[in-house]
Amino acid sequence: MNTDIQKPPKKSFKIQMLAAREMAIIQSVNRFLAEKGFDAMTVDEVAAEVGIAKASLYKHFTSKEELACAAMVAAMRKAQDFIQSLPAGQAPIDKLKAVTRWTMTLKLQGLMPSLPSQNSSLRATLMANKDYMDGLMEVSDALGGWIEEAQAQGQINKGLPAVAVLYTLFARACDPVLEFLKMGEQHTDEQILDLVMSTCFDGLSAR
């Protein structure tokens, strides 16, 4: 008689715990990266916030860089999910606007992890991470396709190289204008989003 069939999966509980803890870690790292950046974030405070020992952290992630990397991979996956959630029938320009606004919403809420574009060791770690690179590629391909469609339809300036448009949209994820306007306390988050969406797509000049 094969008892395996009736046996409840023995490891499942422990694995679930580990997975849950890993999610908690990543969420914590995500917030710290958004709030203070990679350099200012310390492994100690992450461990403290999650409520585990530093040593346990290093069981999951072997370095501070991998920690940040995991958060970036998770963020990228969320972007992929959002992109796939968009209705297929929507016009490409509207999809682009939706993704851009979603990105900026995260940033305004302090949930957009940002890496110092200068830290080379971190960038190297990211570039070596297949999950991250695959996600980045998928997101870039989706947006790139929409950009070209929108240009063909005359809704995005055809004089701009698609890659320049892509970078400009990506850059909204770390646009300091959002924080500055928020600090000024003169506008609601929605108004700030509208303003930056307007400057991004319509420019500063009068139309």
Partner DNA sequence: GTCTATAGAATGATAGAC
Partner DNA sequence: GTCTATCATTCTATAGAC
- Binding residue (CB under 8 A) for its own copies from 2, 6, 12, 205: 205
Q: Name the residue nearer to its own copies (CB basis): 36 or 59.
A: 36
Closest CA to 142 of 90, 67, 204: 90
Cβ contact 108:178 at 8 Å: yes
CB 96 within 8 A of CB 151: no
Between the alpha carbon of residue 66 and those of residues 43, 52, 127, 203, the distances in Å are 11, 17, 12, 38
Size of the site for DNA (CB under 7 A): 19
96 is a site residue for DNA (CB under 7 A): no
* 117 forms part of the interface with its own copies (CB under 8 A): yes
CB 116 within 8 A of CB 38: yes
Q: Quick one: which segment of 12-20, 32-40, 56-64, 77-85 binds its own copies (CB under 8 A)?
A: 32-40
Contact 99, 173 (CB under 8 A): no
Q: Out of 16, 35, 63, 141, name the contact with DNA by CB under 7 A.
A: 63
Q: Which parts of this chain interact with DNA (CB under 7 A)?
A: 13-14, 18, 41-44, 51-56, 58-59, 62-65
Site residues, its own copies (CB under 8 A) = 35-37, 39-40, 93, 116-119, 151, 154-161, 163-165, 167-171, 174-177, 179-181, 184, 186-187, 195-196, 198-207
